[in-house]
Structure 1
Amino acid sequence: MEFPVEVELAQPAPILPTGPHWWYEIKLDGHRTVLWRTAEAVRLQSRSGRDVTTWWTDVAADGMALPPGVVLDGEVVIVVDGRISFEAVQSRAASSPARARRLAQEHPALLVVWDVLALPSGDVRGRPYEWRRAAMLDVLAGLPSPSRLQAVSATEELEVAQAWYDSLRDTGVEGVVAKLGTSPYRAGRSAAWQKIKHAETVDAEVVGYTGAPLQPRMLAVRLPDGRTALSQRLDAPLAAQVAPDLGAAPPAGQAETAAGDAYTAAEPGLTVEVLASSAHRAAVTVTRLR
């Protein structure tokens, strides 16, 4: 396995999946990070594949206690006043190396680990999630205590996962990720991983779309707090309902959401009801046309 690795991504879902072999993990609001323990050092990789070791030297230092050859997948988070702070993570990631070191002294980071991709014996991505989780826990158990590397909380009990979802929102927890215990680690978006984020029903103004106006795939919407985000893919009935309005006016050019997602701009005027998460990168599901 060569640096960087393409990570597995969870598909958005409205509710927790049920059935045999589902595991549930707490979803934290931070930066996706892969830790590589090489023969001589530690390298940290972002979701996109950038080397971000310089900004997370406190995590890298604790990673030196891992056996060479270990590769871990997880989320870098920072806790401020008892709450996970995405703003603190963003501030560190956007700072100069010198300032990042100062911020690390003020608010040290944690790498909350949820997977192991490689062991000293080699690549283990083809193993089932349940096997990889047990191996990950064994690796982390060998670290000195305390450590900046910690295992994510996980359960096979649906009731426990629902309690996490219902009760931990005020601590900075985004929701729950469900993972199929029998699944290998696959690069890219996977139905074996599903993320269920906290959301609320709101009305949103349609400001654009992807695809053709008479066959829209997703809508770009402006939420009440001013955020613009792309929706999840529309189902066929909803696409048919909004298509006449989108096709009635000429396209207004190309635009991007704050997250960098491109869409074809449309004249405002159409309103839809959506389920929208309160996280920094809004997860939006269109439920009906207003």
Structure 2
Amino acid sequence: MADDALVERPVQVALARSVTRLPVGEGWWYEPKFDGHRIVLFRDPDEVVLQSRTGRIVTSAWPDLAAAGLALAPGTVLDGEAVIWNEGALDFAAVQARAASAVARARLLSLQLPATYAVWDLLAHPELGDVRPRPYLERRALLLEVLADVGPPLQAVPATNDRDLALRWYEVLQAQNIEGVVAKRADGAYRSGRSWHKIRHSETVDAEVVGYTGNATHPRTAVVRLPDGGRAQSQALTAPLSRRLALHIAASGPGRRARTDDGERYTTTGDGLVLEVLAGTTRHAVVTVVRAR
């Protein structure tokens, strides 16, 4: 494979924009939307490297997935979601705990609740190189070929062009904590930005962290910049979210004192950490955090 056919890190991932109903018509394909952490998997010649949605290297948090990825041919690059099944349903709290853990604890957690990699796209093929410009259906066929002899925990997500079946997924799979459904054009290339459509049971927006309250090593709440430019404080953070924010604070260096739009004092921190918050809470002084990106 030629060097110019390689997919370089970090990858700017494709995203989905929220819609109120699934698109109708010829040329649409639908996939269940899994509730986990976005991961791009690179099978390098001698190792597997895992990248988060924001471009961070997160291999150490997912040792089970990194080990499983060694079964892939070098030159393969996949896009999907790291998820954890627990008693028949997706356990997002377990995903958050894993993502916020140090190396030794991540290994222990991987033995207690192993992760699954729900794969929905192929970005690079071991023989064909970068396949992102190719149509979705062609990439999908290549993905199934690449994963055919690999098996769990690397698994392709289901896909259908039957909208009625996709709507049944939307209703029935909610009991397993499947978030919703993503729609993609059959002839669509893989490109960064929001080229896909999604419907979800709970709509959220992305908000960038600009500060925190509490101790730098144990932040109590996050202060976020909302899509309209306003600043708001989060509810009390869960332990995994607090640890994730503490890592970000440590990497960002010392902050300064500031105030939210409602006059609450907080300490600033650097850019780069994005939290997903419930859309319905962003008109209030306190927002509800769903996850860290």
Alignment TM-score > 0.5, same fold: yes
**What are the equivalent positions in structure 2 for 1:11-90 lying under 5 Å apart?**
11-90=17-96
Partner of 1:174: 179
* Offset, 1:258: 8.7
CA distance in 2, matches of 1:162, 1:109: 27
Give the CA RMSD over aligned residues: 3.3
Partner of 1:285: none
The CA deviation string for residues 18-43 of structure 1, in whole angstroms up to 9 with x for no partner, is: 11110000001000000000111100
Does the CA contact (< 8 Å) of 2:96 and 2:291 recur in 1? no
Q: Does 1:259 align with 2:275?
A: yes
CA distance in 2, matches of 1:106, 1:5: 31
Does the CA contact (< 8 Å) of 1:174 and 1:279 recur in 2? no
In structure 1, the residue corresponding to 2:123 is in which secondary structure? strand
CA distance in 2, matches of 1:150, 1:267: 39
The change in CA–CA distance for 1:222 and 1:161 in structure 2 (over 3 A counts) is: farther
CA distance in 2, matches of 1:3, 1:258: 19
Partner of 1:280: 290
The change in CA–CA distance for 1:180 and 1:218 in structure 2 (over 3 A counts) is: farther
**What are the equivalent positions in structure 2 for 1:144-155 lying under 5 Å apart?**
145=151, 147-155=152-160
**What are the equivalent positions in structure 2 for 1:48-197 lying under 5 Å apart?**
48-120=54-126, 121-143=128-150, 145=151, 147-187=152-192, 189-190=193-194, 192-197=195-200
Does the CA contact (< 8 Å) of 1:110 and 1:150 recur in 2? yes
CA distance in 2, matches of 1:4, 1:125: 15
CA distance in 2, matches of 1:219, 1:226: 19
Q: Does 1:2 align with 2:12?
A: no
Percent of residue pairs identical: 47
In structure 2, the residue corresponding to 1:48 is in which secondary structure? coil
Q: Match of 2:99, as an amino acid?
A: A
Partner of 2:201: 198
Does the CA contact (< 8 Å) of 1:84 and 1:173 recur in 2? yes
Q: Which has the larger radius of gyration?
A: 1
CA distance in 2, matches of 1:279, 1:158: 31
CA distance in 2, matches of 1:258, 1:127: 30
The CA deviation string for residues 50-96 of structure 1, in whole angstroms up to 9 with x for no partner, is: 11111111011111010100000000000111110110000011111
Does the CA contact (< 8 Å) of 2:147 and 2:155 recur in 1? yes
With normalisation by structure 2, the TM-score equals 0.70
Moved >6 Å (runs of 4+): 208-211, 218-223, 253-258, 266-269
The CA deviation string for residues 193-212 of structure 1, in whole angstroms up to 9 with x for no partner, is: 01100149xxxxxxx9968x
Does the CA contact (< 8 Å) of 2:226 and 2:232 recur in 1? no
* Offset, 1:222: 10
Does the CA contact (< 8 Å) of 1:252 and 1:267 recur in 2? no
CA distance in 1, matches of 2:201, 2:68: 32
CA distance in 1, matches of 2:75, 2:187: 24
With normalisation by structure 1, the TM-score equals 0.71
The CA deviation string for residues 201-239 of structure 1, in whole angstroms up to 9 with x for no partner, is: xxxxxxx9968xxxxx5888999x999xxxxxxxxxxxx
Tell me the number of residue pairs that the alignment of Structure 1 and Structure 2 aligns: 231
